[in-house]
Structure 1
Amino acid sequence: MGERKIPLNLNCGLDLIGEVLYGKWKVRLLWFINEGYKRPSELQRKISDASRRVLNMQLKELEQHELITKVIYAVVPPKVEYSLTDFGKTLIPIIAALGQWGDDNETRLRSLILKENA
């Protein structure tokens, strides 16, 4: 990762969560790994809008924050699988609640986002 332009601010739980989950695809990566998509190619297919490079960077950050583990199998061609750690699994109910809130407010949120981008 590059040099930080803005100093770390870790004064409260929201700051900590932001630091760990900041990244467009991290929440979706955690969700899809929990759903059983463990190989990088599977995750790339599920999140086709993201480049392989960005997904790899965000997977590496999730691994550094001990939310996922990476297993590299000694086969040819190399095989890599990701899984949630016990710590990472504690986020799944929270992600599910956020997703439900988004579903419950889909019409309103979609309208506001489209108006903002018009």
Structure 2
Amino acid sequence: MRKQSSTNLENEMLINGNCDMAYTLDLIGGRWKPSILWRLAYGALRYSDLRRSLPAVSERILILQLREMEADGLISRKVYPEVPPRVEYQLTEVGRSLEPVINVLTAWGSENRPGSERKTPRCPLLTII
């Protein structure tokens, strides 16, 4: 939990409130959010499939990132009333609108990664299941 009266939080709110680029980066920023968005761009995934496709992320962080993106309206969570419980995540319309942004960021990284001879986009941690 963040202190609500901190200078850091005030600065973040000021920047995100006045800069569209900063707002966008705040929504998709973080180590795992782009990877999660990339996977969900291919369709809805059950939590277990999403977890399996990101073996390096801890369960705690994955849940935290999913909750943040759900609160921001980028993804939706559907719980099926069955035993055992089944939970699926998918992109919302707002989340789908980020697909071109993710593609441009991937292409930019491919072209500008230091020491990279390769000019085709790559994401080795992004294993689509």
Deviates more, 1:62-71 or 1:92-101: 92-101
CA RMSD, Structure 1 to Structure 2 (Å): 1.9
Show structure 1 runs of 5+ residues with no match.
111-118
After TM superposition, the structure 1 = structure 2 runs for residues 15-94 of structure 1, keeping only pairs within 5 Å, are: 15-36=22-43, 38-94=45-101
Deviation at 1:60, TM superposition (A): 0.5
Partner of 1:3: 2
Moved >4 Å (runs of 4+): none
Distance (Å, rounded) in 1 between the aligned partners of 2:116 and 2:50: 26
1:6-54, Cα deviation, whole Å (9 max, x unpaired)? 2223220122113212221001101101123511111112211110110
Contact 2:73 2:94 in 1 (8 A): yes
Q: Which of 92, 102, 107 is matched with 1:100 structurally?
A: 107
Distance (Å, rounded) in 1 between the aligned partners of 2:44 and 2:78: 14
Residue 108 of structure 1 aligns to a residue whose secondary structure is: coil
Identity %: 35
Q: How many residues align?
A: 109
